[in-house]
């Protein structure tokens, strides 16, 4: 169970303090939790705070009752938090097999790599020894990023916009991947997404707007509100009409 | 040969026992073993230290190993080795030098290698440099490589210096004739107060000649590196050089490329990048459970692989 208590995050912009997240209180114990909301509402910041990449200005994070607020990225990863980046990182020299081995925490056999990659629609024959460098497309990197999280099998898996850059291979498979992950590890899968088809599989949807939680609930409760979220200012709404 | 020398041999030439094919092993300035084959002859030079290696035209799938090991502190030597590779050969040459210095005097090896590669011959040349020993004496290596590629010849040189060399100045020059190709892949890691300087000069003299220089290096601690490359295109040719360096701690890296085109169809490119390990790379590996130090090691290991 992951608990966020009074989480706030401020960042500086041109000498001015900006509140990115304000007083977030959230308990996550469901299988699939989707966090959605307009661009700039603080979704990615929230995910990075859970993974330890950003430190909250205020508040506490608890994993199964243990306060992890002061824990490093490495410690949280070892305690069971995984994070799939929105924009996967490239590495000169490290291969797909190297990265999957690092993710799994042990040397993986080619047959294992094959099964991991096939889950995300890639054939190992073409990828196992490829370097994670500029020769891979954004979509290929994204799939490998997802395969790495699958290899980790942790109790909390966070995906920051997994659908971005993924072709029609597609959402259906992506959703199958999430379901399989849950079957195997029974953990919490936290997905930041704008995609209705991903929101549709969520047991719980968190709607963020302007750094605050606008609404939390089942998809039946939250989906109808989604269209009304993040009302634009008049200048913009005049143009939208 | 003692245990230290055997360890050096394993490091520089991946040799754990006597190699197959032709070889010449030089240990502490003396010949420690030699084998010639029907196609590959090795003779000792008479006017200076070193050997001549003559490979008969048409020799295929054979290899020559010529490792050098120094374990006697304070030994300084210059060795001149000439390779004459006949037409249409396809061979592998493994050189390399290991210095173990357990004393206080500087040990130095300067290997001057000249390659005369005849028409349409193909050579893979592997060179590894390695140093060990806890003495205060410096371990110095100054390899000079001179390459002459005749029409249609091809040479691929892999040069690696990963550990233990305090000071190195590596000079490589090449003349590339019509239709000939040269590829050089260099990997260097320096640490402590080490200094490494590489200097490539390639002259593309014939049409359709090509060169590709690829250097990857990591400079740690307070070490210093200088990469210099000069590519001259005197004909219709393709030249590319690439210097990619990771800088860490208080190290210093310079990349000084020079391209000269003396022909309208000379196509020359240089790419250079020097930078620290990207923060997001470290973060990514830390989210997989590695510590910052482990992440750094993995990134460096991959980069120099």
- Tell me which chain A residue has its CA closest to the CA of residue B280: A89
Option in B285, B289, B303 nearest A105 (CB):
B289
- Tell me which chain A residue has its CA closest to the CA of residue B286: A74
Answer yes or no: do A74 and B291 touch at CB < 8 A: yes
B293 lies within 8 A of chain A by CB: no
Distance CA B41, CA A26 (A): 78
pLDDT number for residue A26: 94
Q: How many CB atoms lie within 10 A of CB B20?
A: 11
Cα of A161 vs its chain's centroid, Å: 6
User: Lowest-pLDDT range, B1-5, B164-168, B243-247, B278-282?
Assistant: B1-5
Q: Contact B147/B174 with Cβ under 8 angstroms? A: yes
Cα of A204 vs its chain's centroid, Å: 15
pLDDT number for residue B5: 82
**Token representation of residue B252:** 């210093």
| Orientation angle between helical segments A138-152 and A171-185, nearest 10 degrees | 10
**Inter-chain CB pairs, A–B, below 8 Å:** 58
Distance CA B172, CA A38 (A): 58
Answer yes or no: do A77 and B289 touch at CB < 8 A: yes
Distance CA A53, CA B283 (A): 7
B 243-272: CB under 8 A from A: 244
B297 lies within 8 A of chain A by CB: no
Distance CA B29, CA B48 (A): 12
Angle in degrees, CA B176, B177, B182, rounded to 5: 35
A89 lies within 8 A of chain B by CB: yes
**Token representation of residue A69:** 């607020």
Residue with tokens 């891979």: A136
Answer yes or no: do A94 and B302 touch at CB < 8 A: yes
Contacts of B298 in chain A (CB under 8 A): 94, 98, 102
B278 lies within 8 A of chain A by CB: yes
pLDDT number for residue B156: 98
pLDDT number for residue A186: 82
What's the first-to-final CA gap in chain A, in angstroms?
Answer: 43
Chain B closest CA to A71's CA: distance in Å? Answer: 12
Of the spans A120-134, B102-116, B121-135, B254-268, which averages the highest pLDDT? B254-268
Reported as type and span, the H/E element at residue A149 is helix A138-152
B303 lies within 8 A of chain A by CB: yes
pLDDT number for residue B21: 87
CA atoms within 13 A on the CB side of B108: 13
Answer yes or no: do B289 and A53 touch at CB < 8 A: no
Answer yes or no: do B302 and A98 touch at CB < 8 A: yes
Contacts of B160 in chain A (CB under 8 A): none
pLDDT number for residue B164: 85
- Tell me which chain B residue has its CA closest to the CA of residue A145: B284
Would you place residue A168 in the very low, low, confident or very high pLDDT band (cuts 50, 70, 90)?
Answer: low
Comparing A160 with B5, the larger pLDDT belongs to A160
| Orientation angle between helical segments A138-152 and A96-104, nearest 10 degrees | 30
Among B194, B217, B187, B94, which residue's Cα sits nearest to residue B141?
A: B194
**Token representation of residue A97:** 């097999």
Comparing A185 with B250, the larger pLDDT belongs to B250
Q: How many CB atoms lie within 10 A of CB A31?
A: 17
Q: Reply yes or no on whether the pLDDT at B219 is more than 90.
A: yes
Answer yes or no: do B302 and A93 touch at CB < 8 A: yes
Radius of gyration, CA atoms only, chain A:
18
Option in B287, B303, B304 nearest A73 (CB):
B287
Q: Reply yes or no on whether the pLDDT at A67 is more than 90.
A: yes
Would you place residue B261 in the very low, low, confident or very high pLDDT band (cuts 50, 70, 90)?
Answer: very high
Answer yes or no: do A73 and B286 touch at CB < 8 A: yes
Read off the pLDDT of residues B164-183 as tens digits, 9 standing for 90 and up: 889 999 999 999 999 999 99
Answer yes or no: do A85 and B284 touch at CB < 8 A: yes
Here the ipTM equals 0.91
Q: What is the pTM of this model?
A: 0.85
pLDDT number for residue A107: 92
Distance CA B200, CA B232 (A): 11
Among B31, B77, B37, which residue's Cα sits nearest to residue B51?
A: B31
pLDDT number for residue A58: 95
Average pLDDT over residues A182-197: 88
Q: Distances from the Cα of B221 to the Cαs of A223, B190, B296, in angstroms?
A: 55, 8, 14
Chain A closest CA to B88's CA: distance in Å? Answer: 32
Distance CA B16, CA B8 (A): 10
Answer yes or no: do B288 and A94 touch at CB < 8 A: no
B289 lies within 8 A of chain A by CB: yes
Average pLDDT over residues B284-295: 96
**Mean pLDDT across chain B, nearest whole number?**
93
pLDDT number for residue A179: 87
List, as one string, the DSSP characters of A103-136: HHTSPPPHHHHHHHHHHTT--HHHHTT-BSSTTS
Average pLDDT over residues A204-220: 92
A97 lies within 8 A of chain B by CB: no
A93 lies within 8 A of chain B by CB: yes
Q: Distances from the Cα of B36 to the Cαs of B5, B13, B48, B123, in angstroms?
A: 22, 18, 21, 18
A156 lies within 8 A of chain B by CB: no
Q: Contact A55/A98 with Cβ under 8 angstroms? A: no
């Amino acid at each position: 169970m992951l608990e966020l208590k009074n989480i706030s995050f401020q960042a500086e912009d041109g000498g001015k303090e900006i509140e990115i997240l304000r007083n977030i209180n959230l308990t996550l114990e469901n299988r699939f939790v989707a966090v959605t909301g307009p661009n700039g509402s603080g979704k990615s910041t929230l995910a990075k705070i859970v993974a330890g990449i950003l430190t909250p200005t205020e508040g506490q994070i608890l994993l199964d009752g243990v306060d992890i607020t002061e824990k490093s990225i490495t410690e949280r990863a070892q305690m069971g938090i995984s994070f799939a980046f929105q924009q996967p990182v490239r590495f000169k020299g490290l291969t797909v097999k190297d990265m999957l081995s690092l993710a799994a925490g042990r040397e993986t056999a080619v047959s294992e790599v094959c099964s991991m990659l096939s889950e995300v629609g890639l054939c190992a024959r073409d990828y196992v020894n490829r370097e994670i460098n500029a020769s891979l497309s954004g979509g290929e990197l994204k799939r490998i990023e997802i395969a790495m999280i699958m290899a980790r099998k942790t109790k909390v898996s966070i995906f920051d916009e997994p659908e971005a850059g993924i072709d029609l291979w597609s959402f259906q498979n992506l959703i199958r991947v999430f379901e399989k992950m849950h079957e195997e590890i029974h953990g919490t899968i936290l997905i930041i997404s704008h995609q209705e088809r991903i929101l549709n599989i969520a047991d719980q949807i968190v709607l963020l707007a302007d750094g605050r939680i606008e609404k939390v609930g089942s998809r039946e409760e939250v989906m109808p509100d989604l269209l009304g979220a993040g009302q634009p200012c008049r200048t913009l709404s005049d143009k939208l009409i | 040969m003692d245990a230290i020398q055997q360890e050096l041999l394993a490091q520089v030439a991946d040799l754990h026992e006597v190699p197959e094919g032709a070889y010449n092993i030089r240990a502490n300035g003396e010949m420690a073993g030699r084998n010639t084959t029907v196609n590959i002859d090795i003779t000792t030079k008479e006017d200076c230290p070193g050997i001549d290696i003559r490979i008969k035209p048409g020799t295929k799938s054979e290899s020559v190993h010529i490792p050098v090991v120094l374990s006697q502190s304070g030994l300084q030597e210059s060795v001149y080795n000439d390779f004459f590779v006949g037409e249409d050969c396809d061979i592998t040459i493994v050189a390399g030098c290991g210095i173990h210095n357990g004393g206080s005097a500087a040990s130095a090896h300067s290997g001057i290698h000249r390659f005369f590669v005849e028409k349409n011959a193909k050579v893979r040349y592997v060179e590894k440099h390695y140093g060990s020993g806890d003495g205060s004496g410096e371990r110095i290596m100054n390899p000079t490589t001179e390459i002459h590629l005749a029409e249609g010849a091809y040479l691929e040189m892999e040069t690696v210096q990963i550990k233990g060399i305090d000071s190195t100045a590596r000079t490589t020059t090449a003349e590339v004739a019509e239709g000939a190709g040269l590829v050089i892949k260099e990997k260097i890691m320096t640490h402590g107060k080490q200094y490494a300087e590489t200097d490539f000069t390639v002259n593309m003299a014939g049409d359709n000649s090509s060169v590709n220089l690829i250097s990857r290096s990591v400079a740690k601690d307070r070490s210093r590196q200088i990469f210099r490359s000069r590519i001259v295109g005197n004909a219709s040719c393709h030249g590319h050089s690439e210097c990619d360096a990771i800088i860490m701690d208080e190290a210093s890296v310079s990349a000084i490329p020079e391209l000269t085109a003396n022909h309208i169809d000379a196509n020359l490119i240089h790419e250079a990048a020097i930078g620290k390990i990207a923060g997001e790379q470290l973060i990514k590996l830390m989210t997989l459970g590695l510590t910052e130090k482990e992440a750094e090691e993995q990134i460096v290991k991959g980069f120099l692989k």
